[in-house]
Amino acid sequence: MNKLFAETFGTFALVFAGCGAIVVHETQGSVTHVGIALVFGLVVMALAYALGDVSGAHLNPAVTLGFAAARRFAWWEVIPYIVAQMLGATLAAMLLDYLFPYAQALGVTAPARDIPQSFILEVVMTWLLMFVILRVSTGAKEKGIMAGAAVGATVGLDALFGGPISGASMNPARSFGPAIFSGGYALQTLWLYLTAPVVGAFLAVVTEYLVCPRDPACDKQITIEQESHRAAATPTTTQTP
């Protein structure tokens, strides 16, 4: 339960900070596009450091599915993680809707031009992001002091050049919450942001395997984590003399 709460809270913080920056920029004009990209990158970096050793700080259904496809995360945990992430994003959008009732959109992601262009862009951006995550993580958790910085920098980089075209979602949960409360075109194109990041994540898994075949040390660490989880979940019995 602590992992699920961490994913709910983390995704809430990501959507609230990132989409909140978009709303403030649209209503006040004081954040700028560069500032929005910086906010997304910084909040992801902060949450990676804060929650990485608890839940892995996935904060993204595509990342969770990518870890599972890479055999670094148990498939039976995927659905609870995704539900927690969607819940966190929805709660954040609900709070933003309450705080900014005059905002036309709550930081929604929608194609600026044609849908194929945005779909391909979302696939490629998530591909890059998931590849970086896989290379700086062990199992489904971060490794090294700079892991969070690398992931946050990649999010910010993608947002800088992809934001004006597709919104640079790379995250089904990040798009789901604001679309639910904004409706309209955002809901009509939500399918794009639910599917393209997943495709990109799976491409990253294949790429990571081609670039660097399975590391035995990583497999050993995953096995240790899985055995530790099983031991914690199995009740112990004591025998009395």
**Smallest Cα–Cα separation from 157: which of 65, 38, 239, 55?**
38
- Phi, psi of 26, deg, nearest 5: -70, -35
pLDDT value at 137 more than 80: yes
CB 51 within 8 A of CB 6: yes
- Say how many domains are in the chain: 1
pLDDT tens column, 73-98: 999 999 999 999 999 999 999 999 99
Q: Is residue 32 included in any domain, yes or no?
A: yes
Taking residue 91's Cβ as centre, other Cβ atoms within 10 Å add up to 17
pLDDT for 238: 43
Q: Is residue 192 included in any domain, yes or no?
A: yes
Token look-up 């600026």 returns 112
Residue type, 215: D
Rg (CA), the chain: 18
**Whether this model's pTM surpasses 0.95:** no
pLDDT for 12: 97
The three-state secondary structure class of 141 is strand
Per-residue H/E/C for the chain: CHHHHHHHHHHHHHHHHHHHHHHHHHHHCCCHHHHHHHHHHHHHHHHHHHHCCCCCCCCCHHHHHHHHHCCCCCHHHHHHHHHHHHHHHHHHHHHHHHHCCCCCCCCCCCCCCCHHHHHHHHHHHHHHHHHHHHHCEECCEECCCCHHHHHHHHHHHHHHHHHHHHCCCCCHHHHHHHHHHHCCHHHHCHHHHHHHHHHHHHHHHHHHHHHCCCCHHHHHHHHHHHHHHHHHHCCCCCCCC
Q: Is residue 198 included in any domain, yes or no?
A: yes
Q: Is residue 112 included in any domain, yes or no?
A: yes
**Which pLDDT band holds residue 10 (cuts at 50, 70, 90)?**
very high
Mean pLDDT lowest among 7-11, 181-185, 233-237: 233-237
What average pLDDT does the segment 4-16 reach? 95
CB 15 within 8 A of CB 178: yes
pLDDT for 126: 96
Residue numbers of the domain that contains 79: 2-225
Indicate which CATH number applies to the domain containing 102. Answer: 1.20.1080.10
Mean pLDDT lowest among 57-61, 103-107, 174-178: 103-107
Q: Is residue 235 included in any domain, yes or no?
A: no
pLDDT value at 241 more than 50: no
pLDDT for 141: 67
Q: DSSP class of residue 236?
A: P
**Smallest Cα–Cα separation from 125: which of 62, 176, 59, 189?**
62
CB 62 within 8 A of CB 171: yes
Q: Is residue 36 included in any domain, yes or no?
A: yes
pLDDT for 146: 78
pLDDT for 28: 84
Q: Is residue 171 included in any domain, yes or no?
A: yes
pLDDT for 237: 46
- Say which residues have a Cβ less than 8 Å from residue 178's Cβ, sequence separation at least 6: 15, 19, 89, 93, 96, 105, 106, 107, 108, 109, 186
